[in-house]
Amino acid sequence: MIPGPFLLYIGDKRNPLDVKTSRGLATFRRADCIGELRDADCPVSLGLPRMDVREAAAKGARSLVLGIATSGGRMEEAMIPQVLAALDAGLDVVSGLHQHLASEPRIRERAETLGRQLIDVRAAPVNLKVGTGAPRAGRRVLTVGTDCAVGKMYTSIHLADALNASGVSARFRATGQTGVLIAGEGVVIDSVIADFISGAAEALSPAREDDVWDVIEGQGSLFNPSFAGVSLGLLHGAQPQALVMCHDPARPHMRGLPHMPVPDIAACIEENLRCARLTSPHAEFVGISINGSGLEPAAARDLIARIESELGLPCVDPVMTGMDAVVDRLLARFPAA
């Protein structure tokens, strides 16, 4: 696990979805987050004190975390002076971007001179094997989605926590940069060469003979053409017995694709089951998880009730309702040996 305390970079981002890594750390590792580094006119905040790198270092920060999304996952020129200042102030730098920190000569040379660490979370493990789809023992539940960034990580963490609280052992298996930073381990699936995605998922959740549930964080969506490839590879490699569909009801179209409407939940369930059953012939859905943060509470409750009535599955909002209804369905369908 990358040790805190952290200073979380927000910069000039104006869309809350563009800071989801920083937000995830602020939510699930709050005690390790000292402050946020954001421009004066930036409207997005994580509710942490705003401070610069020297203030953060003086308060005990150990790392600056670049927890934002950028076009193509590349470093923006405006970020580089902040990274250099952080190195000068005595901080290591952690990045969730696709572009690795050391690929920027100014950053690499400054870090080498000062003896600072550059930590890229999006770094695929070495010696991965291709997936085989061979049946393996174990209990695995995978979150999938109608689109990317709809709450699969939040749902997975809350589901693992709810299982443990009920007395059933579970572990969160991270597959995204935010999840890996929170859990301290995992595989960032979108950093893996395509041929090895299913193999990486198999390695992340290997065969086991006990009753511990691996709760595997999903990525992307089979219905989003930008990310369907990683979604399919993860679905096959995870070989889940159970699935949970995640959905953001406030989203009018696929993220970044205004020409593509968000698909129907029932259609997503049908397609995910068809694909999952290639390697897990008896896979089934045990619930639906919505991100109701964009709805009024009464509207969210009405939507939850309507989805349950229409699809015959428990529907929850992890933050508003908790995950108990999904846990109950999962354990009823897959009782302990």
The ranges of the chain with pLDDT < 50 are none
How far apart, in whole angstroms, are the C-alpha atoms of residue 222 and residue 228?
A: 4
Question: Other CB atoms closer than 10 Å to residue 226's CB: what's the count?
Answer: 15
Tell me what pLDDT residue 39 has: 93
Neighbours of 315 (CB within 10 A): 23
Nearest Cα neighbor of 194 from 282, 130, 107 is: 130
In the block, residue with structure tokens 């908790």: 322
How far apart (Å, rounded) are the C-alpha atoms in residues 322 and 223?
27
- What is the distance, to the nearest Å, from the Cα of residue 220 to the centroid of all Cα atoms in its chain? 10
Structure tokens at 100: 């690795």
Are 7 and 36 in contact by the 8 Å Cβ rule? The answer is: yes
Instruction: Name the 3-class secondary structure at 85.
Output: helix
Residue 265 makes CB contacts below 8 A (sequence gap 6+) with 146, 245, 247, 288, 307, 311
Q: How far is CA 329 from the centre of its chain?
A: 23
pLDDT computed for residue 2 by the predictor:
85
Alpha-carbon span 6 to 36, nearest angstrom: 9
- Edge to edge, the sheet with strand 170-173 lists 170-173, 213-216, 139-145, 242-247, 284-290, 315-316
pTM over 0.75: yes
**Domains of the chain, CATH where assigned:** 6-120 (3.40.50.720), 139-333 (3.40.50.300)
CA dihedral for 100, 105, 107, 112, sign (positive or negative) = positive
pLDDT at 3: 81
C-alpha distances (whole Å) from 87 to each of 32, 51, 84, 112, 227 are: 19, 16, 5, 10, 34
What's the chain's length in residues?
Answer: 337
Look at residues 103, 82, 100 and name the one whose alpha carbon lies nearest to residue 91: 82
Model pLDDT for residues 156-205, shown as the tens digit of each residue: 999 999 999 999 999 999 999 999 999 999 999 999 999 999 999 999 99
Q: Which two tokens stand for residue 159?
A: 């589901």
Is residue 7 a contact partner of residue 29, using CB atoms and an 8 Å limit?
A: no
CB 216 within 8 A of CB 155: no
| Separation CA 36–CA 24 (nearest Å) | 13
